[in-house]
Amino acid sequence: MSRPPLAREKVLDAFEAILIDAGERAATMDATARAAGVSKGGLLYHFASKEALEGAIVERLRALVDADVTQMAAAAEGPIAYFLRTSVMENDPLDRAILASSRLAQGGNQPAREVLREIRERWADALRAHAKDATALDLVMLVSDGLYFNNALEGGSIPGPVPQGAELDALIALVERAARA
Amino acid sequence: MSRPPLAREKVLDAFEAILIDAGERAATMDATARAAGVSKGGLLYHFASKEALEGAIVERLRALVDADVTQMAAAAEGPIAYFLRTSVMENDPLDRAILASSRLAQGGNQPAREVLREIRERWADALRAHAKDATALDLVMLVSDGLYFNNALEGGSIPGPVPQGAELDALIALVERAARA
DNA sequence: GTCTATAAAAAGATAGAC
DNA sequence: GTCTATCTTTTTATAGAC
């Protein structure tokens, strides 16, 4: 639990940055090593494979979400306002970990898909008691997703279930009541 | 304008499917040719380069959005309800073209980023007269984005601007009024 | 812990036969 | 229009020196 080697963190930061800025395809071991200022061999000492490098991004995200959920529960303005406000990307460590994981998830990385599904559920759990009903919670989650989705430098991804049928009708009615001219 | 060669469409469909299901990295010329049931040489007769293949996806999206905006304007339930309802992914040709283009956009493809920005603006233009004000339009667009975002098989991406400051405060207030318990 | 050198596989693209 | 064969470059990974 003592602080990890500096070079290891630099490599992970570089991999994350390339994933966010240029996508999964550009995030090669070679490009990562170059951006981190180490050799390919040096990178491979810390991360023995591409899979290990990807797994480290997912673990970083999991740790950052722990802190976020704690802060959300304690927010003065209330969890919903805090949640929506922080859904606007500030390019902080949590935002960056989400974006990087989204890129991996879209490339088919299963642990990344899993952690994204998981954090969305953790947020929903923390908000549920503060929403009028399930439709209200849907609205909050969807607006948050929309914010993230748009604000992310060219997009991100948090997979999850979507309302259908009557639930969808109820949501549309609610949004229309709030938004129709 | 006469119908394009069958093999060409098969190749484009295969490329689109791989982008959606497995991501940009998996969508190689080789994998596309195999999935389409043609040889690499056969593929290259129709699309002389990877860039040409990607460009064809973007053009397909542009054409499908034309039809969608026309339908939206004529919808019996009104444009807003139509827009939100069709934001739920049905895996129809338009949904698939958006998802495939999102994958390309996240990999840095500029024409794909451009067309996604463009179609979001076309939707907003078609809805503007039906929303009470700019905040109401934001709400509608964001909920739509959230729906797309979630429902997409592991995510999609439509980049665009996001409200900030007072505009964000107004949006949060509106959502809270509609959603708070 | 970090490096260079290199092997092995996969990627995009070309040439030319049918 | 579609194929096979081949070239070049890139990517992941290994080996071993320092």
Q: Which residues in chain B touch residue A24, judged by CB atoms under 8 angstroms apart?
A: 23-25, 106-107
Gyration radius (Cα) of chain B, Å: 18
Taking an 8 Å cut-off on Cβ atoms, the answer to whether A178 and B147 are in contact is no
Distance from the Cα of A131 to chain B's closest Cα (Å) equals: 5
Q: Which residues in chain A touch residue B17, judged by CB atoms under 8 angstroms apart?
A: none
pLDDT bracket for residue B158 (50, 70, 90): very low
In this prediction, residues B84-104 reach a mean pLDDT of 89
Phi-psi region of A156 (alpha: psi -120 to 50; beta: other; left: phi over 0): beta
Q: Residue B159 pLDDT more than 50?
A: no
pLDDT score recorded for residue A163:
54
Q: Which residues in chain A touch residue B25, judged by CB atoms under 8 angstroms apart?
A: 24-25, 107
Distance from the Cα of B142 to chain A's closest Cα (Å) equals: 4
**Longest distance between any two alpha carbons in chain B, whole Å:** 61
A69 CA vs D11 C1’ separation (Å): 38
pLDDT bracket for residue B75 (50, 70, 90): very high
What domains lie within chain A, and their CATH numbers? Answer: 1-48 (1.10.10.60), 58-179 (no CATH)
- Nearest residue to B16 via CA among B96, B88, B94: B96
pLDDT score recorded for residue A170:
79
- Nearest residue to A49 via CA among A62, A36, A32, A64: A32
- Nearest residue to A158 via CA among A89, A78, A85: A89
Tokens (6 digits) for A68: 């976020």
Closest nucleotide to A45: CA versus each C1': C1
Q: Residue B106 pLDDT more than 50?
A: yes
pLDDT score recorded for residue A165:
61
pLDDT score recorded for residue B31:
96
Distance from the Cα of B38 to chain A's closest Cα (Å) equals: 24
Beta strands in A40-90 (DSSP E): none
pLDDT bracket for residue B155 (50, 70, 90): very low
* B103, B143, B168 member nearest A175 (Cβ): B143
CA–CA distance, A30 with A32 (Å, rounded to integer): 5
Phi-psi region of B163 (alpha: psi -120 to 50; beta: other; left: phi over 0): beta
Contact B24, B107 (CB under 8 A): yes
Q: Which residues in chain B touch residue A26, judged by CB atoms under 8 angstroms apart?
A: 107-108
Taking an 8 Å cut-off on Cβ atoms, the answer to whether A157 and B152 are in contact is yes
Taking an 8 Å cut-off on Cβ atoms, the answer to whether A157 and B156 are in contact is yes
Q: Who touches strand C, with Cβ under 7 Å?
A: A 5-8, 37-42, 44-46; B 28-31, 40-41, 44, 48-51
pLDDT score recorded for residue B4:
66
Q: Which residue is nearest to nucleotide C13 (CA to C1')?
A: B49
Phi-psi region of B3 (alpha: psi -120 to 50; beta: other; left: phi over 0): beta
Taking an 8 Å cut-off on Cβ atoms, the answer to whether A131 and B180 are in contact is yes
pTM exceeds 0.85? yes
Which residues, other chains included, contact A92 with Cβ-Cβ below 8 Å and sequence gap of 6+? none
B77 CA vs D10 C1’ separation (Å): 53
Q: Which residues in chain A show pLDDT less than 70?
A: 1-4, 150-165, 167-168, 178-181
Average per-residue pLDDT for chain B: 85
For an interface test with B, give the residue of A95, A102, A154, A174 to mutate (most B CBs within 10 A): A154
